[in-house]
Structure 1
Amino acid sequence: MNTLHLLDRPDLGSAAWWQDVAAAGTPLRRARTDGDVELAFLWRGTDCAAVCIDVYSHTPHPVAQRTHLQRVGTTDVWLWRTGLPADWRGSYFLLPLAPGQQAPAERAAVRRWWIDLMDRQASADPFNRLPPHGTGWGVPLSPLLLAEAPVHEAWRAVPDAQGLTVQRWHSDRLDTARDIWRLRTGPEDAVPALVLLLDGQYWARQMPIAGALRRLTAQGVLPPAVYVLVDAVSPARRGQELPCNEAFWLAVCAELLPQVYPHAIDPRRTVVAGQSYGGLAALYAALRWPDCFGCALSQSGSFWWPDPDRTEGEGWLAQQVRAGLGSAARMRALLEVGCYETEMTGVNRAMASALADAGHAVAYREVRGGHDWICWRDGLLDGLARLLNDTTIQQG
């Protein structure tokens, strides 16, 4: 498909041109001879001083270096071009800046400036024809799925939340309240497996997973299960509770699980799953509380913690495994990380090696993707099916 030719038209920026852009959908694209795809991202406006774009795992982190669209002459067209592999899948957003909203000079203040603007002004691409989604906190995102991008069959239907119920969990241990979503799949007379999904607000609201889980259960890909989606509450609380926080997991095991799972827990059929900080938390929980969680699914786990500058070698959790953490029981774990997460692959490999050396059943894989919910949604479904159906995990 070649829609990039629209940029060659003499009426670029006219109402008719924008109508054709909307019909074609953005980003505009054209296959290149090297197998990649040339892309053109667009924004329409005359009252903005600048327009930034953040393509996850492709553009530099905006705190370090912003990526700007360029205005085409005196038209209302803003344009940024790049090339990506034909199997690219990921997310992006656009952020128009008003006059006077330039970045502060002090580097320490740039992060706060960017987050504030992102929360207030970030926009999904209005000309992208795929349904938008959002971050775990609702910042709008547009999906970018090129022609050869893998998409799990269960996500091809419109996501829905049918069957998902919500309740408030008031934790005495944590002195806080949060939403908890619960989904029961399969026949009522079957004893269900138990799956705990961290960052539950995303899987309940931004990318509703209930429909995909129901369909895969009906097809026999997943066994009957109770899925418990745990709200992370806020970025600050998430950053406090998910990185190897004993108090959080004591509250989950002692307070939450008895409320949502009225059966005896079988660790062999209990999975805890998470992404980024949640991937770190999932492994920590399974290592510390093997009587509750016998299986862990970690996607893009933040195993650099607590040192954000670590990109290779063993972080704190891997060191704890080497020192004997989790030796009381053999867990089953699946770790995956995106090949474009260049600062994450090293610490994830080290974590997988530490687990394998300690005798745990672990699988490690690097997938075509980045640090992105669009990638994680496919791996989450595949990983749950593998952990819930296999009694062992083979390296590979």
Structure 2
Amino acid sequence: MEYKFNLVHRKGGAESVCDPANPLRAPGPFGDKSVLEFPGYRRPEWLDDRRPSPDSVVETSVESAYLGGPIRVRLWRPGGWDELKPLPTLVVHDGLEYDDYANLVAMLDHMSAGSRLPPMQAALLAPLDRSEHYSASTAYSRALVEEVLPQLAGIAPHPPGNRMCIGMGASLGGLAMLHAHRLYPDAFGGLFLQSGSFFSEQVDVQESWLGRFAEITKFIENIRADTAWPHPIKIEMTCGSVEENLLNNRSTAATLADQGYEVAFHEHPDGHNWVSWRDTFDPILVDFLGAVWG
């Protein structure tokens, strides 16, 4: 469990600080947080393995006319990039953060070396304007499917067929993957969604400060209004058992299942943070990739 103390000073002002009596820290894009590890918690064993070979990771970018700028991409392919044999591709929103704070590439490399993953590669995407583009944005979904994915296929080819491309994202990144799928049903053969920001006006009023809250809730309302969906795919979902998104994730999973999707929903004893998402990679993400591509 991650936490901070909110200090209110007698002379005015306030600040959030880590627990000075607790040396355990978890890094994140908004700074470190203190960590409380409950009895029975075990960190993933794969974290103790080596870092990926530098030859397996390439930094590049792809252009987007829809978004008006380049999107940074971190590409991972086991064994390096000398031979570009087509491989199934995992496309990841907030990809650099997934790698920096949840060690995604290290996990993929470890599981690949141990033959627990099918042959595959990963494209880790960085957002240009996360709050805007990941919040049920039609412009972003168009950019992702019509511009980014074709350019990625030119750099890191995958076999034909939408089953060979899986989308992954957490929080708003998960919402954006689901949005892209509903606009472009043939883009992905599966989705791995962690703590998706599937907000509704009924249960998520605390999120109404978001600039695109209305667009998000409208998108989710439209999904729930559909009684069936002609293009269901396999979807794996995880969510922390003590986070605010739990109710909307349960509801979304049930809605998608009712529409014919093959949905698996997992609740994890943690909150809305990178460590929680990291700790579900093995076995949930590993098994999901094997089920789709094995």
In the TM superposition, residue 146 of structure 1 has moved relative to its aligned partner by 3.3
> Which residue in 2 is equivalent to 1:41?
none
> Which residue in 2 is equivalent to 1:309?
205
Q: Which of the two has greater helix per residue?
A: 2
Q: Distance in 1 between matches of 2:110 and 2:43?
A: 15
Q: Work out which structure has the larger RCO, using CA pairs closer than 8 Å and 6 or more positions apart in sequence.
A: 2
In the TM superposition, residue 286 of structure 1 has moved relative to its aligned partner by 2.4
Change (3 A) 1:279 1:380: farther
Q: Is the 8 A contact 1:181 1:228 kept in 2?
A: yes
> Which residue in 2 is equivalent to 1:333?
235
Whether 2:253 is the aligned partner of 1:352: answer yes
* TM-score normalised by L of structure 2: 0.80
Whether 2:78 is the aligned partner of 1:185: answer yes
Change (3 A) 1:277 1:265: farther
Change (3 A) 1:385 1:206: closer
Change (3 A) 1:245 1:94: same
Please, which of 224, 237, 241 is the counterpart of residue 119 of structure 2?
Answer: 224
In the TM superposition, residue 231 of structure 1 has moved relative to its aligned partner by 1.0
Q: Distance in 1 between matches of 2:53 and 2:3?
A: 24
Q: Distance in 2 between matches of 1:92 and 1:371?
A: 11
Instruction: Kindly provide the amino acid, as one letter, of the partner of residue 245 in structure 2.
Output: M
Q: Is the 8 A contact 1:244 1:280 kept in 2?
A: yes
Whether 2:267 is the aligned partner of 1:366: answer yes
Please, which of 25, 37, 46 is the counterpart of residue 154 of structure 1?
Answer: 46
Q: Distance in 2 between matches of 1:275 and 1:230?
A: 13
Change (3 A) 1:178 1:96: farther
Instruction: Kindly provide the amino acid, as one letter, of the partner of residue 279 in structure 2.
Output: D
Please, which of 240, 249, 252 is the counterpart of residue 144 of structure 2?
Answer: 252
Whether 2:59 is the aligned partner of 1:166: answer yes
Q: Distance in 1 between matches of 2:259 and 2:248?
A: 17
Instruction: Kindly provide the amino acid, as one letter, of the partner of residue 328 in structure 1.
Output: P
* TM-score normalised by L of structure 1: 0.61
In the TM superposition, residue 192 of structure 1 has moved relative to its aligned partner by 1.4
Aligned-pair Cα RMSD in Å: 3.2
What SS does structure 2 have at the residue aligned with 1:229? strand
Q: How does 1:1-396 map to 2 (within 5 A)?
A: 90-93=1-4, 100=11, 102-103=13-14, 128=23, 132-135=25-28, 137-157=29-49, 162=54, 163-185=56-78, 188=83, 191-233=86-128, 237-261=129-153, 262-305=157-200, 308-309=204-205, 316-324=218-226, 327-341=229-243, 343-391=244-292
Q: Is the 8 A contact 1:124 1:140 kept in 2?
A: no
Q: Is the 8 A contact 1:186 1:218 kept in 2?
A: no
Q: Deviations over 1:326-365 (max 9, x none)?
A: 8231211012211112x32221111111111111111112
Q: Distance in 2 between matches of 1:126 and 1:160?
A: 34
Q: Is the 8 A contact 1:179 1:230 kept in 2?
A: yes
Q: Distance in 2 between matches of 1:223 and 1:325?
A: 35
Q: Is the 8 A contact 2:102 2:277 kept in 1?
A: no
In the TM superposition, residue 176 of structure 1 has moved relative to its aligned partner by 2.4
Q: Distance in 1 between matches of 2:59 and 2:201?
A: 33
In the TM superposition, residue 170 of structure 1 has moved relative to its aligned partner by 3.1
Q: Distance in 2 between matches of 1:292 and 1:199?
A: 18
Q: Distance in 1 between matches of 2:182 and 2:78?
A: 27
Q: Is the 8 A contact 1:159 1:208 kept in 2?
A: no
Instruction: Kindly provide the amino acid, as one letter, of the partner of residue 386 in structure 1.
Output: D
What SS does structure 1 have at the residue aligned with 2:271? coil
Change (3 A) 1:140 1:180: same
What SS does structure 1 have at the residue aligned with 2:36? strand
The gaps in structure 2 that reach 5 residues or longer are: 208-215
In the TM superposition, residue 164 of structure 1 has moved relative to its aligned partner by 2.1
The gaps in structure 1 that reach 5 residues or longer are: 1-89, 104-116
What SS does structure 1 have at the residue aligned with 2:122? strand
Q: Distance in 2 between matches of 1:281 and 1:245?
A: 8
Q: Distance in 2 between matches of 1:143 and 1:161?
A: 30
What SS does structure 1 have at the residue aligned with 2:277? helix
Change (3 A) 1:390 1:175: same
Q: Distance in 2 between matches of 1:376 and 1:267?
A: 25
Change (3 A) 1:95 1:167: farther
Q: Is the 8 A contact 1:192 1:223 kept in 2?
A: no
What SS does structure 1 have at the residue aligned with 2:177? helix
